[in-house]
Copies of this chain bind each other. A is one copy, B any other.
Amino acid sequence: MINKQLLNPGSIAVIGGSENIHKPGGKILRNLIDGQFEGELYVVNPRAFAIEGAIYHESISQLPPVDLAILAIPARLCPSATRELARTKNTRAFIVISAGFSEESPAGALLEKELLDIVNEFDACLIGPNCIGVLTSHHHSLFTSPIPELDPSGCDFISGSGATAVFIMESGIPKGLKFSSVFSVGNSAQTGVEEILQYMDEHYEPGISSPIKLLYMESIRDPDKLLHHASSLIRQGCKIAAIKSGSSDAGSRAATSHTGALASPDLAVEALFRKAGIVRCHSREELTTIASIFTLKEPKGKRIAIITHAGGPAVMLTDALTKGGLEVPLISGREAEKLKSKLLPGASVSNPIDLLATGTAEQLGLVIDSCENVFEDIDAMMVIFGSPGLVEVYDAYEVLHEKMSLCQKPIFPILPSMITARDEVQYFLSKGHVNFPDEVSIGSAMVKVMNTPKPAPEIIVTENVNIPSVRGLIQKCSSGYQEPEFVQKLLKAASIPWFRRK
Contacts and interface: CB of A to CB of B under 8 A. Distances in A.
B146 A311 contact: no
A377 to B, nearest CB: 13
A254 B389 contact: no
A245 B284 CA distance: 26
A330 to B, nearest CB: 7
Interface stretch (A97-105, A426-434, A458-466): A97-105
A258 B171 CA distance: 32
Interface string A219-245: 000000000000000000000000101
Contacts of A143: 388, 390
A249 interface: yes
A311 B257 contact: yes
B285 A27 contact: no
A440 B318 contact: no
Number of copies of this chain that the complex holds = 2
Interface in A279-320: 282-286, 306, 309-316, 318-320
Contacts of A170: 386, 416-420
A173 to B, nearest CB: 6
B390 A319 contact: no
Given A248-B323, A251-B319, A253-B330, A258 B164 contact: no
Contacts of A273: none
Contacts of A309: 163
Contacts of A437: 171
A374 B356 CA distance: 57
Contacts of A174: 418-419
Contact of A346 (B99, B167, B249, B320): B99
Given A105-B346, A163-B311, A286-B440, A318 B389 contact: no
Of residues A174, A254, A283, A389, which shows the largest number of chain B Cβ atoms within 10 Å of its Cβ? A254
Interface stretch (A63-71, A85-93, A116-124, A347-355): A347-355
A94 interface: no
Contacts of A391: 22
Of residues A23, A315, A418, which shows the largest number of chain B Cβ atoms within 10 Å of its Cβ? A315
A328 interface: yes
A164 B259 contact: no
Interface residues of A, number: 91
A210 interface: no
Interface in A16-36: 21-24, 27
A310 B166 CA distance: 10
A435 to B, nearest CB: 13
B438 A388 contact: no
Given A315-B246, A388-B132, A440-B286, A416 B310 contact: no
A345 interface: yes
B247 A389 contact: no
22 contacts: A21-B390, A103-B346, A104-B346, A105-B346, A146-B419, A160-B312, A161-B311, A164-B312, A166-B386, A166-B420, A174-B419, A218-B315, A245-B312, A248-B319, A248-B323, A257-B348, A257-B350, A258-B315, A258-B354, A282-B440, A284-B440, A285-B440
Interface of A: 21-24, 27, 99-100, 103-105, 132, 143-146, 159-164, 166-167, 170-171, 173-174, 216, 218, 243, 245-251, 253-255, 257-259, 282-286, 306, 309-316, 318-323, 327-328, 330, 345-346, 348, 350-352, 354, 356-357, 386-391, 416-420, 437-441
